[in-house]
Structure 1
Amino acid sequence: MKKTIVLFVLFALPIVAYLFFASGINTFAKLPIVTPTIKELPQWKSLSGDRIELKDKITILGFTGQDVLYNKGNAFNLNQKIYNKNKEFTDFQMVMIAPLGTEDQAEELMAELGRISDMSGWHFVFASPQEIQEYYNGLELVGQLDDKNGTSNVFIIDKDLNLRGRKGKNLKGEEEYKEGYNTISAADLHNEMSDDVKVILAEYRLALKKNNKRKI
């Protein structure tokens, strides 16, 4: 009995405390699934030339649209408020889907961000407008892409390809729905999204600790 209590204090309690303090805004016990099992990215051209996949990664997924550089302020907000705070997590990545023909804009944006950050976790993939629209439709969201195949919202995708957000009743019994996070709003990123990313990372840390404990 004493051994069980000691193990709880050493392993479970720190994670519970982390989840409590990390979730000052998110009042769900676990970050809900908004859309289960979205499709893996097709084998689209990437800026690096590598095959970019979502499976087994915690991904921040975005749709930049045609005006990649015009909207670079959104990318800077995302970089500062979300990416830089979580880039040390091995399986964390940023994936931006952009229309074919915007490769030069994406390369320039990456170079600008690269002056202030290690960009190894940022990826751009490119597809035709029709392919982008079809993929976005598969996310089954309320919000829509604009006429340039972009949106200021970004989305959290977990390792099992579930799109996560806020859906249903929270711990206070209030109905919430949030499918994406607005990169125009530094406050939205700094508060709600930062909080939700911490929660999902804590989920995986807890799962990892449990797996390691079973192996002992």
Structure 2
Amino acid sequence: MKKTVVLVILFVFPIVAYLFFASGVTNFGKLPVLTDAVNDVSKMDESLTLRDKITILGFLGSDIEHKKGNAFNLNQKIYKRFYEFNDLQFVMVVPKGSESKVAELKKELGHLVDISKWFFVYGDDQDIEHFFAGLDTDLSLDQNLATPYVFIIDKDMGLRGRKNDDNQGNTFGFNTASVADLNNKMVDDVKIILAEYRMALKKNNADR
């Protein structure tokens, strides 16, 4: 009898536990799509697209000097941790005329890490407002066309987030002014979407 119990503990229980956690990841390890199809940045910059990329999307506005702290927080807490993953890009939308400010920001960010996956899209004010409205969130841009929030856009150009987060409504974006928000929420959500695509890739390869 004791041998049977030992065998169950050593062999059966680990298998059951694995199946339980594996099924949990499959069934629950996905971020909800909050906006089905956002507009593409290619309408402002033909050299860039959100299609077939996992994108961290932000709006730094014209007053970039006062948004450097937000960019550094994002760079340190999210970009440095995940930038080596394939198909992941960071896209910041800024008004035309901000080129010199962006160059300075990139120079400062580049002291900390390879910033080859940071991209900046320049648009007219009206184009930026239209593009942001297409995200269909409960957030807004300020007078400088900026927001401290960044958004996760999947490869099908859907905005991912959290539904009824902490019973306080949907979470569309993550506040780069808050290190706690980046550490406690965004890190987990980026992990989830990367794992989702890795699992899908493994399944596709296994089905071939």
Q: TM-score by structure 2 length? A: 0.85
* 1:59-98 superposed matches below 5 A: 59-98=55-94
**In the alignment, what sits opposite 2:32?**
32
What is the identity, as a one-letter code, of the residue corresponding to 1:206? M
Of 16, 20, 26, the residue aligned with 2:22 is 16
Q: 1:16: how far off? A: 3.2
- Which structure has the highest helix share of the two? 2
Q: Distance in 2 between matches of 1:82 and 1:169?
A: 20
What is the identity, as a one-letter code, of the residue corresponding to 2:194? L
Deviations along 1:31-82, whole A, 9 cap, x unmatched?
001100111113434xxxx701100000000000111122101000000111
Of 90, 108, 119, the residue aligned with 2:104 is 108
Q: Distance in 2 between matches of 1:74 and 1:19?
A: 32
What is the identity, as a one-letter code, of the residue corresponding to 1:204? Y
**In the alignment, what sits opposite 1:147?**
143
8 A Cα contact 2:62 2:95, kept in partner:
yes
Q: Distance in 1 between matches of 2:104 and 2:23?
A: 42
CA RMSD of aligned residues (A): 2.4
8 A Cα contact 1:97 1:127, kept in partner:
yes
**In the alignment, what sits opposite 1:25?**
none
Q: TM-score by structure 1 length? A: 0.82
Deviations along 1:143-195, whole A, 9 cap, x unmatched?
1100111100000000000000001489xxx5751000000001100110000
Q: 1:111 to 1:205 in 2, by over 3 A?
A: same
Q: 1:79 to 1:135 in 2, by over 3 A?
A: same
Bigger radius of gyration: 2
Q: 1:199 to 1:108 in 2, by over 3 A?
A: same
Gaps of 5+ in 1: 1-8, 21-27
Give the match's secondary structure for 1:34: strand
Q: 1:154 to 1:19 in 2, by over 3 A?
A: same
What is the identity, as a one-letter code, of the residue corresponding to 1:60? I
- Does residue 214 (structure 1) correspond to residue 207 (structure 2)? The answer is yes
Q: 1:30: how far off? A: 1.7
Aligned-pair identity in percent equals: 48
Give the match's secondary structure for 2:197: helix
8 A Cα contact 2:93 2:121, kept in partner:
yes
Q: Distance in 2 between matches of 1:71 and 1:175?
A: 27
The alignment covers a number of residue pairs equal to 191
Gaps of 5+ in 2: 1-14
8 A Cα contact 1:19 1:202, kept in partner:
no
